[in-house]
Structure 1
Amino acid sequence: MRSRKYILSILLTFTIIIKCISFTQISTYASYVPVKYSSELYAELNASDKNITASASTSPPTLHARYAALIDGDNNRLLYGKEADVKAPNASTTKIMTLITALEICGDDYVATTSAYAAAMPDVQLNAVRGERFHIQDLYYSLMLKSHNDTAVIIAENTAYYYLCTLSDKDRNELLYDTAFINSYNSDSSFIKDISKEQSRILVRIFTDLMNKKALELGCTNTHFVTPNGLDATDEYGVHSTTAYELGVMMSYCIKNSHFLDITQTQSYTFHNLSNKEYSVTNANAFLSMYNNIISGKTGFTADAGYCYVCAYKDDEHTYIVTLLACGWPNNKTYKWTDSKVLLDYAKNSFTKQNIFNDRKTFNICVTDGKCKNINVSIDENYSAYIKDDDSVDIEYNIPESIKAPVKSGDVIGSVDIIINGENVKQYPLICSNDVNKRSCLDNISDFIQHLLSFLCISVIK
């Protein structure tokens, strides 16, 4: 009897030691409170997230423009489109990207110099002359209020030079363009008055490359800029063009820049060149005073593009972007104002802003072959969208029942997708915040010994 108790005490002690070792290994990698969700509960979650109140219905708008888009300025969702994904010339609406590119690259105190090439641009012009120098900040008002084509090229050439000054020698040498005509990178632009037409074009090309890069960063894959002023042009990559939708996306980005808004909202502006010659410009965007809560806009016209317009509307609850391309030709100059009003009235009468997803949810996922059997992933996001009465809204939880170890912190293991009218408008990834290592042979042996010792303990007790 005494030997039996002795064996039992040894077995119990050994079992406790193994348990402690195993617990230490597991707690090193993860510490979770299991919260299990069944597939039925996921269905309930989907149903509970559809508490959407419909707005009153109105008829789709009738427009003069061949291409048009109305988008949600907060998330770039297309609310209404008329051939909104068709590429078309966009004239001087291009200049919103000219401005935002320069604002994000060029120094505020930079002094710009006019080249012969810039001075030769067609109307509309500031009528700057070769060698004339300006504070670049002043030129932004000339660009956006009066849409001066020569100013756009002055800004492009000088911003390109300023950009080159910020690069290392190695980066400059890797450029596709021959910039050997630039002798110094000290931000002194005075040499630009003496460069040739071809050298000016190199600087402009560097700038439009920067514009195209920014467009791609915004997801605008059907946009191609050839000129900084929007004049009709073609290069080896295609026609200068964008789509109504992508122009709206670019405007949505631009209005998040306070300096951009300050410039485009200014009604009149007076400035001087460095020789003290005075210039005055007034804002050609009449829609700023024609419709309440317009916060920005840019007009445009060329023979190929027709009349074009992009504007932003913002009140306490709504942000809308309206874009119009090919909105009439001469004798139809007011069509763009009519169509803008029609689209904004349609937006305000048809859509209400709804909270679609605004909750914190935690999901438990089994981990196979891991040192921890379960992990929790959470989502705590808010998503709102403009909804009208015939919109279909769904939330899909794409969450696996189990995943296989190893799992690393930062791994995407699922998603929550918000779908409106069959289009995935927002996806929130579910990301693991802990490492879960794969079980080793030693872990399996440890489990086997634990089970064996437990069995022997029970046997001894009996």
Structure 2
Amino acid sequence: MKKWLCLVLFLTTLTYSITALLPSRVRVSAAEDDLQLHAKYAVLLDGDSGRVLYGKNEDTPAPMASTTKIMSCVIALEYGLKEMTCTTSTYAASMPDVQLNAKKGETFTLNDLLYSLMLKSHNDSAVIIAENTACYYIYQVQSGIYPDTYDVLSGKDLSFVSFPSGFDTSFLQNITTEQSKILVAVFTGLMNEKAVSLGCTQTHFITPNGLDASDETGEHATTAKELAVIMSYCIQNEEFLAITQTKEHQFGSYSVSNANAFLNMYDGVLSGKTGFTGNAGYCYVCACRYDGKTFIAALLACGWPPSKTYKWQDCRTLLNWGKEHFNHEEIIGKNFPLKSITVTDGLEKELPVSIHDTCRLLLRKEDLVNVVINTPDSIAAPVFTGDIVGSVCVYVNDALLFSTPVYANACIRRTDYLYFLNQVIKSFCFIDK
């Protein structure tokens, strides 16, 4: 029945547009606004819809340095346990500055390491997190708790990883550098799969800390747009927000303070992460919420020493521009009008329909908004309440930003031979209709 309905929709769909829902608009590309940014690659993203509000080479891959760590953090939160004990390997302890200066065999909770990762951007903490979270993932798979859905363990020699007495990573202090790299590859495999699931197909993670690297697939890189998309995903995690908004955190003999100076420089900042390597230059990704608007700004290659403050200037420019030019407008409300659909061979001639979702978008006055309603001219009975019989799509400047199904609001039986026979029998037997 569902396949038949789909065929009818495909053959008989009537598409009509509503462009009068909003004031008349003139199409203008955001690229026409010259914001004079220092960054080679930049984007301002609507954090709720995922729409690019402003872009400068936003789809060009480039190294992203320690902004990588936003993905490392959220993967650790999703696949690890915050209170699990993490052991430092020789490889992790060998990472270059910036370091926590953890020693081989030293242990920490994952929770404490995440503050070290996000507040002070420690490279050794990133590898400790990666190796131990990978071990926990392997433990879960080996225990049959869940499958290796993304095949990140496939083809890897994991004979050195075993848990004879439950989950315990103390063995990590005795593994080789090559074995550490296998565990890191498991973790970055999870990072890459998450990126793909978010639509970030030009992002490639090799290291969990963002140090410059390359492999047979390419360089450790992303795009400004995809980095912003990843941040928009990260800020949906309340634990991620709590960590990145913390001013200071102490654990054992260690103390870390938040290096994201923009938290105190701009109102409404939700989260942010800096980064720098010789290849990447200064990088920054930031989430900001103002008057119900969620903006994500991402900057790559935003100057090299001594131009450390360029990223703050560019981020302020992008956010100010977004605040000034964009406001929320309701495109589709609860009482959005939809025409009934003609029903053939049915007890009723008209099928009432509706949508369940509303659409509210950040728009600027120059945006051209087009609402396209896809419903068939007619539909054959039987139709059941809740059947999907079409869609409503919202386009802004020809880009699809929203789509929702159109549902049948009634159950309409078919007037076939059996129906008429039943009516005759009822009449003959004096059965009341």
User: What TM-score bracket applies, with the shorter chain setting the length?
Assistant: 0.7 to 0.9
Whether the 8 Å CA contact 2:340–2:352 is kept in 1: the answer is yes
Partner letter of residue 424 of structure 1?
A: L
Return the TM-score normalized by structure 2. 0.85
Name the residue aligned to 1:248.
228
Name the residue aligned to 2:22.
50
C-alpha distance 433-211 of structure 1, shift in aligned 2 (>3 A): farther
SS of 1:330 mapped into structure 2: coil
Whether the 8 Å CA contact 2:374–2:390 is kept in 1: the answer is yes
Instruction: Compute the displacement of 1:437 (Å).
Output: 7.1
Identity across matched positions, percent: 49
C-alpha distance 48-380 of structure 1, shift in aligned 2 (>3 A): farther
Name the residue aligned to 2:177.
197
- Deviations 1:110-144 (Å, cap 9, x if unpaired)? 00000111111111111111111001100011101
Whether the 8 Å CA contact 1:52–1:354 is kept in 2: the answer is no
Kindly report which structure 2 residues correspond to 1:307-456, keeping only aligned pairs within 5 A, or say none. Answer: 307-361=282-336, 362-369=338-345, 373-404=349-380, 412-432=388-408, 442=418
Partner letter of residue 238 of structure 2?
A: S
Return the TM-score normalized by structure 1. 0.80
Whether the 8 Å CA contact 2:82–2:111 is kept in 1: the answer is yes
Distance 1:149 1:359 in 2: 49
Distance 1:113 1:438 in 2: 68
C-alpha distance 321-172 of structure 1, shift in aligned 2 (>3 A): closer
C-alpha distance 431-237 of structure 1, shift in aligned 2 (>3 A): farther
SS of 1:399 mapped into structure 2: strand
Name the residue aligned to 1:91.
65
Distance 2:141 2:347 in 1: 49
Q: 1:269 aligns with which of 249, 253, 259?
A: 249
Whether the 8 Å CA contact 2:25–2:367 is kept in 1: the answer is no
Kindly report which structure 2 residues correspond to 1:274-289, keeping only aligned pairs within 5 A, or say none. Answer: 278-289=253-264
Instruction: Compute the displacement of 1:369 (Å).
Output: 5.0
C-alpha distance 133-393 of structure 1, shift in aligned 2 (>3 A): same
- Deviations 1:393-444 (Å, cap 9, x if unpaired)? 1111111112345657765431111111111111112244777677765458
Whether the 8 Å CA contact 1:142–1:148 is kept in 2: the answer is yes
Name the residue aligned to 1:19.
none
Name the residue aligned to 1:224.
204
Q: 1:73 aligns with which of 27, 30, 47?
A: 47
Distance 1:434 1:110 in 2: 53
Q: Structure 1 residue 122 and structure 2 residue 122: aligned?
A: no
C-alpha distance 247-434 of structure 1, shift in aligned 2 (>3 A): farther
Name the residue aligned to 1:181.
160
Partner letter of residue 354 of structure 1?
A: E
Name the residue aligned to 2:5.
none
Instruction: Compute the displacement of 1:359 (Å).
Output: 2.8
Partner letter of residue 367 of structure 2?
A: D
Name the residue aligned to 1:208.
188
Whether the 8 Å CA contact 2:248–2:258 is kept in 1: the answer is yes
Q: Structure 1 residue 305 and structure 2 residue 280: aligned?
A: yes
Whether the 8 Å CA contact 1:91–1:308 is kept in 2: the answer is yes
Instruction: Compute the displacement of 1:237 (Å).
Output: 2.3
Partner letter of residue 179 of structure 1?
A: L
C-alpha distance 172-96 of structure 1, shift in aligned 2 (>3 A): closer
Distance 2:411 2:88 in 1: 59
C-alpha distance 405-240 of structure 1, shift in aligned 2 (>3 A): farther
Higher mean alpha-carbon deviation, 163-172 vs 120-129, is at: 163-172
Whether the 8 Å CA contact 1:52–1:356 is kept in 2: the answer is no
- Deviations 1:37-67 (Å, cap 9, x if unpaired)? xx89x66xx245225899xx99541101011
Name the residue aligned to 2:84.
110
Higher mean alpha-carbon deviation, 356-365 vs 405-414, is at: 405-414
Instruction: Compute the displacement of 1:296 (Å).
Output: 0.8
Whether the 8 Å CA contact 2:192–2:204 is kept in 1: the answer is yes
Instruction: Compute the displacement of 1:316 (Å).
Output: 3.2
Partner letter of residue 247 of structure 1?
A: L
Name the residue aligned to 1:163.
137
Instruction: Compute the displacement of 1:154 (Å).
Output: 0.3
C-alpha distance 363-263 of structure 1, shift in aligned 2 (>3 A): same
Segments of 5+ residues of structure 2 without an aligned counterpart are 1-13, 429-433
Segments of 5+ residues of structure 1 without an aligned counterpart are 1-38, 273-277, 454-462
Distance 2:212 2:385 in 1: 51
Whether the 8 Å CA contact 1:50–1:394 is kept in 2: the answer is no
Would you tell me which structure has more helix in proportion to its own residues? 1
Distance 2:382 2:222 in 1: 46
C-alpha distance 52-320 of structure 1, shift in aligned 2 (>3 A): farther
- Deviations 1:168-188 (Å, cap 9, x if unpaired)? 456469731221111216221
- Higher-Rg structure is 1
Name the residue aligned to 1:12.
none
Name the residue aligned to 1:236.
216
C-alpha distance 389-316 of structure 1, shift in aligned 2 (>3 A): closer
- Deviations 1:315-348 (Å, cap 9, x if unpaired)? 2322111000111112211110110011111111
Partner letter of residue 305 of structure 1?
A: A
Count of residues in Structure 1 that have an aligned counterpart in Structure 2: 402
